[in-house]
Structure 1
């Protein structure tokens, strides 16, 4: 029984070290061959969750065997429970939140309503120009049209009134 616990613990630890150091390299080399491990019907079936649970099973089994006086069957059951709890905890605390996280730095155009911008390319009364909008730590250039149907010269500060069809409709910012 001890050999099984050691095998699971050492195998899991080696997997963690190798995947941390060479994970992307191995993943690209294999070209998605191991994608079957994350089945659509069973998202918990991914390497992080499974190997984490197997490693916890091995570690818990070793600790329980060496530091308690309980029988081998109880040690095995407690090690299995530990592996399931640690693997499940890894899934719910790390894998699932990361899979649902936003992985794009793109901005939402709807969030631009009410922001102040500067006209880069003059906006005619009927037609389009370009504005520079500060977003977070950076800037973005966007196509703009006059909300009030009046010409707005370059360099003018404007406020974004609405966003429709990827066009920002702007009005001159009243300096008062």
Structure 2
């Protein structure tokens, strides 16, 4: 079958090349398209994936099978839709929720307990590590009242200013009972 004097294989292949090129551009400029996609309620990644799946399956079916072009188009649309749904459910949704769970804000560090790895001198800076679900967070720290704090001590984060954690020595009752 031909459409506007062009074979269906050529149309599918052209669509595949264009969708592939747009996908590469989306990788580099995805933030801009994300904003546009949110405004109209569609995810650009899913649209590009649908076009890619549709054109790839259409091209393969046109070159390998002897079915009519209309049947191939319907099968390609159904397969692209199913693959797009699977991509969304098993890849895009878990990635979006994983990205949020791995990040932290400086405000979320307030009230957390860490351990001094580089001693904090009086009126100076050291470094602490805080354990989190996503790994270890290492941040510069200073004493809340400009006091010196030795290495290996546990500290409580009181305040965060310009990326520096202001800490005080921390000793909970359970630690004191075990040392007695």
TM-score by length of 2: 0.60
Whether the 8 Å contact between 1:144 and 1:170 is mirrored in structure 2 is no
Q: What secondary structure, in the 3-state scheme, does the structure 1 residue paired with 2:148 have? A: coil
Matched, 1:140 2:134: no
- What corresponds to 1:13 in structure 2? 20
Point out 4+ residue stretches in structure 1 off by more than 6 angstroms.
none
- What corresponds to 1:66 in structure 2? 63
Whether the 8 Å contact between 2:127 and 2:138 is mirrored in structure 1 is no
Q: 5+ unaligned residues in a row in structure 2: which ranges?
A: 131-135, 161-165
Q: 5+ unaligned residues in a row in structure 1: which ranges?
A: 123-128, 146-151
| Counterparts of 1:36 and 1:19, CA distance in 2 | 12
Q: Would the alpha carbon gap of residues 109 and 18 (structure 1) be closer, same or farther in structure 2, given more than 3 Å must change? A: closer
TM-score by length of 1: 0.61
RMSD: 3.9
| Counterparts of 1:111 and 1:69, CA distance in 2 | 68
Q: Would the alpha carbon gap of residues 49 and 111 (structure 1) be closer, same or farther in structure 2, given more than 3 Å must change? A: farther
1:143 deviates by 4.6
Q: Would the alpha carbon gap of residues 71 and 141 (structure 1) be closer, same or farther in structure 2, given more than 3 Å must change? A: same
Whether the 8 Å contact between 1:53 and 1:85 is mirrored in structure 2 is no
1:13 deviates by 1.8
